[in-house]
Amino acid sequence: MTALATTLERIVGPTHVLSRPAALLAYRSDALPGHRLMPSLAVMPGTREELVAVVRALAADGTPFVARGAGTGLSGGALADGIVLLGLHRLRRILAIDPAARTATVEPGVVNATLTRAAAVHGLHYAPDPSSQTACTIGGNIAENAGGPHCLKYGVTLNHVRRATVVLPSGEVVELDRGDDGGYDLLGAFVGSEGCFGVVVDATVQLTPDPQQVITLLADFLRVRDAATATSRIIAAGIVPAALELMDQATIEAVESSVYAAGYPRDAAAVLLAEVDGPSIGLADDARAIEQLCREAGARGVRVATDAGERARLWQGRKKAFGAMGRVAPHLVVQDAVVPRTALADLLEEIQAIGAAHRLRVCNVFHAGDGNLHPNIPYDADDPDESARVHRAMGEIMARCIAAGGTITGEHGVGLDKLAYMESLFTAETLDAMCALRAVFDPERRANPGKVVPVRSCREWHATAAAR
Amino acid sequence: MIRPRTTTEVLEAVRAAVRDGRALRIVGAARWNDAGHPVRAPETLSLAELTGVVSYRPDDLTMTVEAGTTLAELDATTRARGQWCPLLAWGDDHGTVGATLATATSGPFADALGRPRDLTLGLEAIDGTGRHIVAGGRVVKNVAGFDLTRALVGAWGTLGIITRVHLRLRPRPAVDATFAFTPRGAGLPPMPIAALAQVPLPSAVAATLGVADAAWLLRVGANASAVAAARAALDGAGRVVELDAAAWDLVRRDSAPPSPARQWRWDPLSLRLRDRFDPQRLLNPGLLGEAP
Amino acid sequence: MSGHTGSGVHPTLARSPLAMARAGLDRCVHCGFCLPACPTYLALEDENDSPRGRLLLMGALLEGQVRVDDAETGRHFDQCLGCRGCESACPSGVPYGELIEATRTTLAVHRPLPVVARAILSVFAELWLLRGLLGAARLVRGSGLARLAARLLPRRLAMPFAMLASTARPAPRPYDATQVRTAAGTDSHAMPDRGRAALLTGCVMESLFTETNRATERTLSVNGWRMCAADEQGCCGALHAHAGDRETARSLARRNIAAFAASGADVIVMNSAGCGAMCREYGHLLADDPQWAARAAAFAEKVRDVSELLAEAGPRPPAASPGHARETITYDAPCHLQHAQRITAPPLRVLAALPDAQLVPLQDSDQCCGSAGIFNLLRPEVAERVLAPKLQHIAATGAAVVATGNPGCLMQIGGGLELSGAACRARHPVELLDAAYARAVRPD
């Protein structure tokens, strides 16, 4: 037992400090398949006071750490390589809900869907809805600037956080807001910083009124291209759907074989899940317009669901699609890239071609309305040849997305997984500026070291910038 | 006065300033001169000639413009395609996009349609160390890397000079109606939102603001049947007069809140931010009331 | 891909049940969706006590990264309630229940069960011993000693007595099926003959819930089933299988298969969700036994929960009895019904048929109550932490009765209600339907 472990035990109690290797095995991974790293120790504070005391103890010890919510992230952001893992899942109190101001103040470990459930009695909900919403935490959502299907209309996490109390890696506790009353948008800089800037102690988030009515449509297509075209046309027509999601045949097959079978037509090349919500007046017009646009683009059929049960079933399949792919092959690469919406149709064909060239099966399930692609590849990691092909295919897909004017991640974050692509997306000077921004919050780089920006980008440019 | 026409010229000007330790006062259309405190700088860099639409992709609902482009030009270009970038900032449309973002100036529709931070997808800027920053991108969803865009938007030019921006556009509603609405009953309730809570308004564009002749000004944007239904609902709840959308120009001009730059919060974190991006205090020194 | 750990199986576990179940383990993509569905994770707040954590530990065991006799790791497996709530939340279809049993069986070789567990399990395996003990328990209950002990003893010791006390029922009011049909004004010939049904009377059910078994037989008769007996039947073996004692479970299964074959029943009725889940697994349990595999599979095919049979028949609605006060009822889904057997609607249909009841929803009714076989006897402190939110949610409904179709849940919730002094009672849905039929024949 190290001196640090003893100190931490004194703060959070012995059952909430894990240091035996066997006890740490369960904390080697988050939801990113195929990546495992072993922390040196795990500490799980149960109160905000304990959290601050733990971060201060780590600061006094000069120990780097990785904050972790529910470990549902898909970029390896919550993996700790031989350093301390700071588990925030015990901090799950909803501190206040203010229905008049439409805000909630929560601890970082509150589960996204739990907040929505608690707000439901006031006719409100928390709008960002990542597919992992039944398990992921608000703290993790803030760290990753999480998105979700309904972000098309309602915006991502950034647009829904009002303020946050944050403990910086130095142990300093600061209040961050948008700077509306005269100040830098420190909150905006913090949201999406992937645990590299500090740890949320509590946050106030915006709640959104439940729409008066919701209509969900499922259009099925015999060509993926037609579904992509329908997407562009819907957006261009001036309709603002609450969500617009595309699933291809491989994904439909995986979902329909799972416990979350949603009744998607198995023989369709793609289905488009569209939703409109708002006051009931005029909503049916929007739904009809979407149906019309889908049919014009070549939809074989359009199913319209208005009752809650049927809508939930249609959505269930979409939200659990990623997990459902677990049944296709033992391992899975989950990808996340964004391209301009108009490039979708071409890009999907290129992705299929890349997959075919490498003899791989690519399952696409994504936020079409945002151009946010998720090409996933089930494979067997024990097959070195297949693993190598997966790796090459992913590199090619990412290069195509960047070339199309896109980006390497729309919602999963860079973490460890996307580190290698950062230098092809950003200039050296921009990466250096990112390092400078991190240094504002964590000059010692003790919070989630080695993530987001490749270390060498900082070192090189630190030297030149200082010399200037 | 330095009047660069390209980002490269801005970069050269700032690098020269860094070398010589010479401070710069940064202006767009020079309409926010006295927004904060006086700037202590021997030289002015104007972005008024760094103008133009770099790219506009209507089907992607995105647009890239140079910082000196006016809001009026932005509005005219997008209107032709039935779209808009609904900044609708306090003041008027003669201001520049760059200044609107740099000052994070929102307007009466901020809550409904978004603030500059919500509508900016990415930007290019030259910071106070002479770094050419290319942040974010032109796609509508992006979490790659740390968010320099949010740091620079609303920093009043004190961290970097915004030279080019990628904006998120939205479709203009099929019908965009403005109503003056006087709820039935004596006097105006203190919260217009509360008064309208019973009225099912289309959510696409709905905002309330300000008192003009004892009426709430209300903008409803949606498809025709939804707007008609909203109008009917308002008729049932009080007196309604339909106005021209130009009514909002008066509101934007006359109801602007005091500039937040006057009481800037200089906590240790904010000072460290300034230190990392403008250690020599070359960009708009003094504007935010900071100590020399 | 980088950092992927190879999946070589450590030689000591090469032929172990866990190694055989490896394919199911590989389905896990560690998405974490199971976390909020796991009662022990919510209560203990450590991922080692979550389904994802336990699956990762199983993998580590197989790969030799953790020793098979590591006591702490063993404890995390022991602490699993086996509620299989995670299976309902798992998009990848990981057969968690199968995996945890395989793990326990594998570890049992290296790590004998605790003495208390062994003692309890051996009692369940021996019919005469079990009947004797449960008979003694009935005496304690009947004398009022159980309730007294529940009140006087410190909480930890009081719970078993409270559980026992909660199984007490008022004197039965038997009736004849034809009476019910006559009271409802229907001709007995109008009711179709649905076939022959034999009830797995169960060990705990027949001893402590005798009346529930009789109620099961009566309500099925009212709804057109002909009841027949399977005389040589015994314990279903669920407790042994869950604890990793697979061999005993297999021999108990063979005994039941033979007994029910002799009864000539078309369906084998369960009124204990835990036994039902086990009996449906017989085919799987004896798959590698050439003499029994086919018979076991045929047996499993005939297994039905009583709620399924009743729902299939309607059930025949009892006539309202005017003198009877309207009651608020809520339903808690037994894990082994909802998650293991995926039976959700039928019990609600049974309750919906009650003429004098108002059914109100129970928050988190899909979460385990902490009973989990003999778990609450082995790990009372964990069981109590899991039960606490359940009791809160029940209290919030204001219901007079919480219905649930499993003896373990009836006792765990019933005992908890007893200790907390709540007026609410825990009842099997079949008991409620039976009482309604009885009232229809002979009003209060």
Pair (B30, B136) in one structural domain: yes
Q: Which residues of chain C lie closer than 8 angstroms to A33, CB-CB?
A: 29-30
Tell me chain C's radius of gyration from C-alpha atoms.
Answer: 22
For residue B126, what pLDDT is reported? Answer: 98
Contact C3 A35 (CB under 8 A): yes
Low-confidence winner among A285-294, C120-129, C168-177 (lowest mean pLDDT): C120-129
Which of A196, A286, A468 is closest, CB to CB, to B129?
A: A468
CB contact under 8 A, A232 and B117: no
- 3-class secondary-structure state, position B90: coil
Q: Are residues B135 and B179 in the same domain?
A: no
Quote the minimal CA–CA distance from C193 to chain A in Å: 34
Whether A325 sits inside 8 A of C27 (CB atoms) is no
3-state SS string over chain C? CCCCCCCCCCHHHCCCHHHHCHHHHHCCCCCCCCHHHCHHHHHHCCHHHCHHHHHHHHHHHHCCCCCCCCHHHHHHHHCCCCCCHHHHHCCCCCCHHHHHHHHHHHHHHHCCCCHHHHHHHHHHHCHHHHHHHHHHHHHHHHCCHHHHHHHHCCHHHHHHHHHHHHCCCCCCCCCCHHHHHHHCCCCHHHCCCCEEEEECCCHHHHHHCHHHHHHHHHHHHHCCEEEECCCCCCCCCHHHHHHCCHHHHHHHHHHHHHHHHHHCCCEEEECCHHHHHHHHCHHHHCCCCCCCHHHHHHHHHHEEEHHHHHHHHCCCCCCCCCCCCCEEEEECCCHHHHCCCCCCHHHHHHHHCCCCEEEECCCCCCCCCCCCCCHHHHCHHHHHHHHHHHHHHHHHHCCCEEECCCHHHHHHHHHHHHHHCCCCEEECHHHHHHHHHHHHHCCC
pLDDT, residue B213, reads 54
Cβ of residue A292 closer than 8 Å to a chain B Cβ? no
One-letter identity of residue C407: P
Comparing CB atoms, the residue among B131, B142, B171 nearest residue A407 is B142
Q: Which residue of A has its CA nearest to C61?
A: A22
- Measure A230 CA to nearest chain C CA, in Å: 29
Specify which of B209-218, C242-251, C401-410 reaches the highest per-range mean pLDDT.
C401-410
Record: contact A371-B222, CB cut-off 8 A: no
| CATH code for the domain of A193 | 3.30.465.10
State whether A412 and A442 are in the same domain. no
Does one domain contain both A382 and A313? Answer: no
DSSP secondary structure string, B20-46?
Answer: HT--EEEESSS--TTSSS----SEEEE
Q: How far is B125 from chain A (nearest CA, A)?
A: 10
Could you tell me if B59 and B140 lie in one domain?
A: yes
Q: How confident is the model at residue C10 (pLDDT cuts 50, 70, 90)?
A: confident
Q: Does residue B280 lie within any of the structural domains?
A: no
pLDDT in the model for residue B235? 84
Within a domain: residue B285?
A: no
Residue range A65-113, pLDDT digits in tens? 999 999 999 999 999 999 999 999 999 999 999 998 899 999 999 999 9
What's the whole-number average pLDDT of chain C?
A: 88
Percent over 90 (pLDDT), chain C: 53
A23 touches chain C (CB under 8 A): yes
Q: How confident is residue B95, by pLDDT bands cut at 50, 70 and 90? A: very high
Q: What domain count does chain A have?
A: 5
Q: Indicate whether C155 pLDDT > 60.
A: yes
Measured between CA atoms, how close is A25 to chain C, in angstroms? Answer: 7
Q: What is the pLDDT of residue B223?
A: 82
pLDDT band at B271 (very low <50, low <70, confident <90, very high): very high
According to DSSP, the β-strands at A94-98 and A270-278 are unpaired
Q: Which of A305, A324, A343 is the last residue of a domain?
A: A324
DSSP 8-state class, residue A111: B
Chains meeting A at 3+ CB pairs closer than 8 A?
A: B, C
Is the model's pLDDT at B190 over the cut of 50? no
Q: Which domain holds residue B198?
A: 175-253
Does residue A273 contact residue A315 with C-beta atoms inside 8 Å? yes
CA distance C43 to C286: 35
- Kindly give, in sequence order, each residue whose CB lies less than 8 Å from that of residue B265, ignoring residues fewer than 6 positions away: A179, A181, A182, A183
Do both B35 and B165 map to the same domain?
A: yes
pLDDT at B62 over 60: yes
> Which pLDDT belongs to residue A261?
83
B182 forms beta bridges with B239
Same domain, A119 and A157: yes
Q: For residue C403, what are the β-bridge partners? A: C331, C427
A229-264 per-position pLDDT tens digit: 999 889 888 788 999 999 999 999 988 988 778 889
Tell me if B276 is assigned to some domain.
no
Q: How far apart are CA A195 and CA A184, in angstroms?
A: 20
Range of the domain at A452: 425-467
Residue B188 has pLDDT above 80, yes or no: no
Q: What's the mean pLDDT in C424-430?
A: 95
Q: Are residues A219 and A297 in the same domain?
A: yes
Task: State the DSSP code for A182.
Answer: T
Task: Average the pLDDT over each of B11-25, B50-64, C36-50, C173-187 and give the range with the smallest value.
Answer: C173-187
Q: What is the pLDDT of residues C24-48, one digit of tens each?
A: 998 898 999 999 999 999 989 999 9
Check B147 against A182: CB less than 8 A apart. Answer: no
State whether A249 and A228 are in the same domain.
yes
Whether B137 shows a pLDDT value over 60: the answer reads yes
**CATH no. of C319-441:** 3.40.50
Of B121, B147, B171, the one marking the end of a domain is B171
Question: B71 and B120 share a domain?
Answer: yes
Residues of B in contact with A441 (CB under 8 A): 269
Say if residue A18's pLDDT is above 50. Answer: yes
- CB atoms near residue B258 (< 10 Å): 9
pLDDT classification of C380: cutoffs 50, 70, 90: confident
Higher local confidence (pLDDT), A50 or B209? A50
- CATH number of the domain residue A221 falls in: 3.30.70.2190
Predicted pLDDT at C91: 86
The angle subtended at Cα C437 by Cα C436 and Cα C442, nearest 5°, is 95
Question: For residues A52, C45, A161 and B132, what is the CA-based torsion angle, rounded to 10 degrees?
Answer: 70
pLDDT at residue number C2: 35
Q: Quick one: A118 and A184 in the same domain?
A: yes
Number of structural domains in chain B: 2
Q: Is A121 on the interface with C (CB under 8 A)?
A: no
Architecture of domain C11-110 in this structure: Orthogonal Bundle (1.10)
Vertex A358: Cα angle to A357 and A363 (nearest 5): 95
Q: CATH code at B184? A: 3.30.70
Instruction: Please give the Cα distance from A188 to C27 (Å, whole number).
Output: 38
Residues B25 and B121 in one domain: yes
- Is the residue at B75 inside a domain? yes
Cα–Cα–Cα angle for C190, C192, C196, rounded to 5 degrees: 145
Which range has the worst mean pLDDT, B54-63, C60-69, C113-122? C113-122
Position B268 pLDDT exceeds 80: yes
Q: What integer is the mean pLDDT of C108-134?
A: 78
Tell me which chain A residues have a C-beta less than 8 angstroms from the C-beta of B262. Answer: 182
Q: Are residues A335 and A282 in the same domain?
A: no
Domain final residue pick, A289, A324, A359? A324
Question: Which chain A residue has the Cα nearest residue B172?
Answer: A238
CB contact (8 A) between residue B139 and residue A405:
yes
Residue B264 lies in a domain: no
Q: Rounded to an integer, what distance in angstroms lies between the CA atom of residue B291 and that of residue B266?
A: 10
**CB of A132 less than 8 A from some CB of C:** yes
Residue closest to A335 by CA, chosen among A346, A325, A349: A325
Chains sharing 3 or more CB pairs under 8 A with chain B: A
Picking from A60, A87, A114, the residue at the C-terminal end of a domain is A87
> Tell me, what's the pLDDT at B185?
66
Looking at the predicted structure, is the pLDDT value of residue B133 above 70? yes
**CATH code of the domain in which A38 resides:** 3.30.43.10
Predicted local distance difference test score (pLDDT) of residue A239: 84
Report C:86-115 residues touching A (Cβ under 8 A).
Answer: 87-94
**Residue C111 in this model has a pLDDT that exceeds 80:** no
Residue A400, chain B, CB below 8 Å: the answer is: no
Taking contacts as CB-CB distances below 8 angstroms, the residues of chain A near C51 are none
Percent of chain B with pLDDT over 90: 58
Q: Each residue of C384-402: b (16+ CB within 10 Å) or e?
A: bbbbebbbebbeebebbbb
On whether both A108 and A133 belong to a single domain, the answer is: yes
**Cis peptide preceding B108, ω within 30 of 0:** no
Q: Do residues B181 and B153 share a domain?
A: no
Is there a single domain that holds both residue B179 and residue B153? no
| Residue of higher predicted confidence among B209 and A92 | A92
Number of Cβ atoms within 10 Å of the Cβ of C75: 12
Residues B22 and B131 in one domain: yes
Q: Is A382 on the interface with C (CB under 8 A)?
A: yes
Q: Is A123 on the interface with B (CB under 8 A)?
A: no
Co-location of B71 and B206 in the same domain: no
Together in a domain, A131 and A163: yes
The band of B34, judged by pLDDT with boundaries at 50, 70 and 90, is low
- In this predicted model, which residue has the larger pLDDT, B206 or A192? A192
Per-domain residue ranges of chain C: 11-110, 115-159, 177-311, 319-441
What percentage of residues in chain A have a pLDDT greater than 70?
97
User: Between chains, do A326 and C7 touch, taking CB under 8 Å as contact?
Assistant: no
Question: Token pair for residue A167?
Answer: 């403990």
The string of pLDDT tens digits covering residues C181-202 is: 776 665 555 677 899 999 999 8
Please indicate, yes or no, whether residues B14 and B120 belong to a single structural domain of this protein. Answer: yes
Give A432's contacts (C-beta < 8 A, 6+ positions apart): A457, A458, A460, A461, A462, A464, A465, B131
Class of CATH domain C177-311: alpha beta
* Domain at A337, CATH number: 3.30.70.2740
* B84, B214: one domain: no
What whole-number distance in Å separates Cα of residue A185 and Cα of residue A180? 8
End-to-end CA distance of chain B: 23
CA of A449 vs chain B CAs: smallest distance (Å):
14
Pull the structure tokens for residue A91. 């901090």
Q: Do chains C and B touch (3 or more CB pairs under 8 A)?
A: no
Domains C177-311 and C319-441 share a fold: yes
pTM: 0.89
A182–B59 C-beta distance less than 8 A: no
